Structure 1
Amino acid sequence: MADRGLGSGPLNDVKPLGGGTQNIMLTFDRDGRRYVLRRGPRHLRPRSNDAIARETRVLSALKETSVPHPHLVALCEDSSLLNGAIFYLMDPVDGFNASLELPTVHAGDPSVRHEMALNIVDSLAALGSVDYHKVGLTDFGKPAGFLERQVPRWLSELESYKQFEGYGDPDIPEVERVAEWLDQNRPAWWQPGIMHGDFHLANVMFDRSSANVSAIVDWEMSTIGDPLLDLGWLLATWQLPEAPSIFGGAFMQSSGLPAPAHLVARYAERSTRDLTGIHWYVVLACFKLGIVLEGTHARAVADLAPKETGDELHTTTLRLFERALQIMDGEQ
């Protein structure tokens, strides 16, 4: 930090920050300024440092855009300092996570919550409108064949769970039917853009005194792909029955929230993207996210993750596939 001109003296008031399930975040003061440090998990995975580096690249690229995001201070790529982990510093975000709490002004007024929901969509549309070439992200992903890769990629992931002792075949109804529907109904044309990759309520922070979005956070799954999958992800998790707190919480259980069709209409007002196939993206989001969550269930069966967490996420997977089937059958 001293070499980067980021103050002098000791680090004071060091505190852990929650909200995520994998990466480690700490906040501290130095020389009168507050910082947030973010790094990979304590037990690094093979691509943990790559994910941290990718996050910083996106945050840097978004600096001059209207997309609400944390302000990047600096990246440290010297992995020798923290037992193999690279890390970055950012400014704290002054806001709250609506999946965990609702301040009085938000809890007491349905119109505020309604506006919060619309502002989520506005932020997402702003991200989808960024020209990734102009902000230096031309080589950040592989958009060619992105949609075609999704179904085989995630079927392969589901198949890999058989390695976990005791898991066997997945207890997810009609996986193959959903996969076949996705292949048969894939949009013929789409427009590449910056994707967040895990866009749901818990990854959006709000201003404590208004309905404004303070920042979209947790960019480790970002890439260049189809931004409509981010909208599909939001709709897939919107008021999902029996969902864990990250997809539900006090906000999703409250009154005044717009229906999914209203969210789509709001996005259409803010974007030039073709939304005629949005149901396909919601089904893909249900399929992909459901398989991702099922991985924790598979590990829990093998005693590699808490059983309670595995059971909760398996239930969420079932609800996601139920939603996908309802959409496919024209019930939603």
Structure 2
Amino acid sequence: MTTDVDFSAISEWIGGLGIGAVSPLTFERVGNGQSNLTYAVSDAGGSRWVLRRPPLGHLLASAHDVVREYRILTALQNTGVPVPKMIALTEDAAVSDVPLVLMSYVDGVVLDSVTKASAIAESVRASVGHSMTSALADIHRVDLESTGLLDLASHKPYAERQLKRWTTQWANSKSRDVPAIDLLAERLAANIPDQRELTLVHGDFHLNNVITSPSDGSIVAVVDWELCTLGDPLADIGGLLAYWPEAGDAVAGPFMASTLPGFPSRAELTADYAAKTGRDVSAVGFWQALALWKLSIIAEGVMRRAEADSRNRAGAGSPTTSLIDDIVARALGVADDIGI
């Protein structure tokens, strides 16, 4: 694997796509994402695009598959789900040692910090929350057959698949022993709710992965689809709750924007989603606990990658052992609250 991203070769590739790119091109790492890397691409004429590529360094098998992400986003182009326009995919080793995806630039704001969320009105923050549950409802009503996504993933029970996958990821990526993660896996495995339907699942749906309109709070694009799969739709709403701390939480965890006044509470988000979809959300606590457990494993992997290769470190920094321990504590708290 090469030691650096070859932006010269990538510029040549983009220049040959026939999209009117005017040399020279500039590349700027954007977002707080610490998995697939995202760059804003600008040309001399003022046009902008977005480039996605896997992280630098050693990768776990099946992780960070931008080719699969490209397939999903291409399939969603003509649905009600707001996504960027896909422009090109390359797997040419002469351009890059890993696959690259180029997509349209979507104008808006990612509320990935308290500072950014503070800049919008409280009424707009409320709208953001309700727009997110609407976007989830749109994702979960995607027709899998007509979009060609019916074979995207296994149709076996989703919770069992998740527990198996992330237990394996934990075994392969951990740099220390965290007994609480192993204990929680056992508790979750013993309390799996029945799965009633199979839908498209984003798999990583939270404020950092949506682009919003700062004027009205609408979701203009849902991004970062690398964990997308087929499964129980309640997994997504549980995941949203896991990434949605409230001001009164004893252990807030990361993603603090939602603690500001105006944003709906977790209970309000759940009720809003239930009203929009008609789904029984009584099992959402299980999925929230599972999502927090999974988040702690993801954060451990991010921390390991950043320690191994500092080029993968996002501008906001990388997770710490203290932060990961706090996430695990939140997960155990949710599990205790729902009696599992």
- TM-score for the superposition, normalised by structure 2: 0.81
**Residue 37 to residue 48, structure 1, CA distance change in 2 (3 Å):** farther
CA distance in 1, matches of 2:71, 2:278: 26
For residue 315 of structure 1, what is the aligned residue in structure 2? 322
CA distance in 1, matches of 2:22, 2:58: 27
**Residue 78 to residue 121, structure 1, CA distance change in 2 (3 Å):** same
The one-letter code sitting in structure 2 at the alignment partner of 1:304 is A
How far 1:96 sits from its partner (Å)? 0.9
Equivalent pair of 2:122/2:262 in contact (CA under 8 Å): yes
**2:79 is the counterpart of 1:73:** no
**2:333 is the counterpart of 1:326:** yes
SS where residue 308 of structure 2 aligns? coil
SS where residue 96 of structure 1 aligns? coil
For residue 219 of structure 2, what is the aligned residue in structure 1? 213
Deviation by residue 1:35-92 (Cα, 9 ceiling, x = unmatched): 222222344736589711111111111111111111112222323212x222222110
RMSD: 3.1
**Structure 1 residues 1-332: aligned runs within 5 Å:** 4-7=17-20, 10-19=22-31, 20-21=33-34, 22-29=36-43, 33-43=47-57, 45=59, 51-82=65-96, 84-100=97-113, 107=119, 109-161=121-173, 164=175, 167=176, 169-170=177-178, 172-173=179-180, 175-239=181-245, 241-244=251-254, 247-248=255-256, 251-297=257-303, 304=308, 312-330=319-337
The percent identity for this pair of structures is 33
CA distance in 2, matches of 1:159, 1:243: 23
**Residue 314 to residue 129, structure 1, CA distance change in 2 (3 Å):** farther
The one-letter code sitting in structure 2 at the alignment partner of 1:94 is D
CA distance in 2, matches of 1:256, 1:26: 30
CA distance in 1, matches of 2:220, 2:294: 28
**Residue 188 to residue 297, structure 1, CA distance change in 2 (3 Å):** same
**Residue 209 to residue 256, structure 1, CA distance change in 2 (3 Å):** closer
Equivalent pair of 2:15/2:22 in contact (CA under 8 Å): no
**Residue 294 to residue 60, structure 1, CA distance change in 2 (3 Å):** same
Equivalent pair of 1:26/1:38 in contact (CA under 8 Å): no
Unaligned runs of 5+ in 2: 1-13
How far 1:151 sits from its partner (Å)? 2.3
CA distance in 2, matches of 1:211, 1:304: 38
CA distance in 2, matches of 1:6, 1:107: 34
**Residue 49 to residue 324, structure 1, CA distance change in 2 (3 Å):** closer
The one-letter code sitting in structure 1 at the alignment partner of 2:204 is D
CA distance in 2, matches of 1:219, 1:298: 22
Equivalent pair of 1:110/1:256 in contact (CA under 8 Å): yes
**Residue 143 to residue 11, structure 1, CA distance change in 2 (3 Å):** farther
The one-letter code sitting in structure 1 at the alignment partner of 2:325 is L
Unaligned runs of 5+ in 1: none
**Residue 17 to residue 210, structure 1, CA distance change in 2 (3 Å):** farther
Q: How many residues of Structure 1 are paired with residues of Structure 2 in the alignment?
A: 316
SS where residue 90 of structure 1 aligns? strand
**Residue 305 to residue 144, structure 1, CA distance change in 2 (3 Å):** same
- TM-score for the superposition, normalised by structure 1: 0.83
CA distance in 2, matches of 1:59, 1:52: 10
SS where residue 38 of structure 1 aligns? strand
**Residue 151 to residue 102, structure 1, CA distance change in 2 (3 Å):** same
**Residue 327 to residue 17, structure 1, CA distance change in 2 (3 Å):** same
CA distance in 1, matches of 2:101, 2:228: 17
**Residue 270 to residue 102, structure 1, CA distance change in 2 (3 Å):** farther
